[in-house]
């Protein structure tokens, strides 16, 4: 496995609509493994392939395996989701505001409206169908990552964006 460089908006791949995953071959498995290592190293809670300069529709999402996550999300804490060609098939009318950051835009935060609950369908790393229901923070991470596949960044839709301060660091907002 290898830690891949995470690109920033000066690299045009981050702004392109990514291609659907067609082949779940060894090369794709290596990409998923490398993305996992990159996500854990960052550390972050989500990573989309365009962030490592690969224009393919695959995302990794993993909430931290800590006490807060376990209390709020149960078995979702520490569970790795790999979703190829993800699509949001249901979204709650309820919209919630929350703070986001992005591994591709280090040092900034923003306030973004997201659906409180969503249902996603897609394929797992072996090409088998998966469906995932998510709420709260997990739903937010999925929406942020799926936006990356269409070249959209949270700063495009944020109500406000600010440079990280010491207080932000202390609050330990997770980078996604
Ligand atoms: Zn991001």
* Region for 85 from its dihedrals, namely left if φ exceeds 0, alpha if ψ lies in -120 to 50, beta otherwise: left
Q: How far apart are the CA of 119 and the centre of ligand 1, in A?
A: 20
Task: Identify the residue whose tokens are 């923003």.
Answer: 110
Hey, CA dihedral for 58, 27, 35, 75, is it positive or negative?
Answer: positive
Farthest-apart Cα atoms in the chain, separation = 44
Residue range 144-165, pLDDT digits in tens: 999 999 999 999 999 999 998 8
Q: Hey, how many other C-beta atoms are within 10 angstroms of the C-beta on 3? A: 14
Answer whether 54's CB lies under 8 Å from 93's CB: no
- 80-91: strand order across its sheet: 46-48, 58-62, 80-91, 117-123, 129-135
What distance lies between CA 174 and its chain's CA centroid? 11
pLDDT tens per residue across span 89-129: 999 999 999 999 999 999 999 999 999 999 999 999 999 99
Q: Average pLDDT in the 135-148 region?
A: 97
Render pLDDT for 45-102 as a digit per residue (tens, 0 to 9).
999 999 999 999 999 999 999 998 899 888 889 999 999 999 999 999 999 999 999 9
Catalytic residue among 145, 167, 169, 175: 145
Q: 12-170 has which fold?
A: Peptide Deformylase (3.90.45)
Distance 130 CA to ligand 1 centre (A): 22
Domain locations in the chain as residue ranges: 12-170
How far, in Å, from the CA of 72 to the mean position of ligand 1?
Answer: 22
């Amino acid at each position: 496995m290898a830690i891949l460089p995470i690109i920033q908006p000066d690299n045009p791949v981050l702004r392109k609509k990514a291609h659907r995953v067609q082949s779940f071959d060894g090369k794709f498995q290596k990409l998923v493994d490398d993305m996992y290592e990159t996500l854990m190293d960052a550390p972050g809670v989500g990573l989309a392939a365009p962030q490592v300069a690969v224009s393919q529709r695959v995302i990794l999402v993993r909430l931290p395996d800590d006490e807060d996550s376990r209390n709020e999300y149960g078995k979702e804490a520490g569970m790795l989701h790999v979703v190829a060609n993800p699509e949001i098939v249901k979204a709650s009318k309820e919209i919630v505001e929350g703070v986001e950051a992005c591994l591709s835009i280090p040092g900034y935060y923003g306030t973004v409206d997201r659906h409180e609950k969503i249902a996603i369908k897609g394929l797992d790393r072996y090409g088998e169908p998966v469906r995932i229901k998510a709420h709260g923070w997990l739903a937010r991470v999925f929406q942020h990552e799926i936006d990356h596949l269409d070249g959209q960044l949270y700063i495009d839709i944020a109500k406000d964006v600010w440079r990280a301060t010491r207080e932000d660091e202390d609050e330990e907002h997770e980078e996604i």
